[in-house]
Amino acid sequence: MAIEVFNRYENKYFLTEDLLDRILSEIEEHMVPDKFNRGRKTYSISNIYFDTPDDYLIRASLAKPKYKEKLRLRAYGVPDKDGTAFLEMKKKFNGLVNKRRTSIPLQEGYLFAENGGMSPLSEEMNPQVTREIACMVRRYGTLAPKVMIAYDRLAYFEKGNPDLRISFDTNIRSRRYDLKLEEGNDGILLIPEGIWLMEIKTASAVPLWLSSLLTREDVYKVSFSKYGYEYRCHVTNRKEESYYA
C-alpha cells in the first residue's frame, strides 16, 4: 500500500538551458538527485487530468480563488495496460498545497473518476485517501479525462532535509486524444525547447544558500499551472508566450 500526503508551498521559475546549468552546479553542492536522475538523466511523468463537462475545475482555478482543487491520474514512464498508477487530489488554499495520493490499478483509476468515486478497494489502495478523493468526485458528479500532460523531470533533495525538494521539468507536452496513459506520453509541445520549469517545494523557509542563489542569478517567481496553461492554449488555439518569455 502506498500513501503520500504533502503539505507544502510550491514556487515556480522559468530557466533557460544556460541558467539551468549554473543553477544545477550549485544545487548539486547541497542536494542529491533522485535515484532515477543520476548523471542528470531525466525520467518522464505523464498525467491525465479529470474535469467536469464544462471544465469547471480548471476554469475555477484560473480565476485564482483562495481555494482550488484538481484531480489527476499519474504514471512514471509509460505504464502497461494492467499496471499501477497514482490517483492524486491536489488542493491549494492561500498558497499552501495539500496533495493526497494513493496507488491504484490503472484501469480502476479511469473508472474511479468516471463512476463517481465508486470502485472496489484493491490491496495497494489506501482506504482513507480513497474515501477523501471519492468525496471530491461526488461533489462534482461524473468527472471525465480531459487532457494528458507529460514532461521530463530532474529532481533533487536536500541532504539531511527531506522537507526540501526541487524539480526541473522540460519538454512539457500535451494531447487531447488517446487519453490513456498506456497509449504513450507523446504530445504537442507547450513551451519552447530549452526552457525548464523549476519548482521549489518546501513546508518551511527556503535555506539561505538557495535564496542567495536565486538573488544572484536574478531568478524570479512566476505564476504557472501546466493544466491551466494548456487549457488557455486550447480555448484560444494559440500559445501565450508571455508565460515563458
For helices 17-30 and 208-216, the axis angle rounded to 10 degrees is 160
What's the rounded mean pLDDT across residues 139-156? Answer: 95
Q: Indicate the domain borders of the chain.
A: 3-243
The confidence band for 240, taking pLDDT boundaries of 50, 70 and 90, is: low
Chain-wide mean pLDDT for the chain?
A: 91
CATH of 3-243, one of 3.40.605.10, 3.20.20.140, 3.40.50.300, 3.20.100.30: 3.20.100.30
Range in 2-16, 24-38, 186-200 with the lowest mean pLDDT: 2-16
pLDDT digits (tens, 9 = 90+) for 184-231: 999 999 999 999 999 999 988 899 999 999 999 999 999 999 999 999
Residue 27's identity, in one-letter code, is I
**242 has a pLDDT exceeding 70:** no
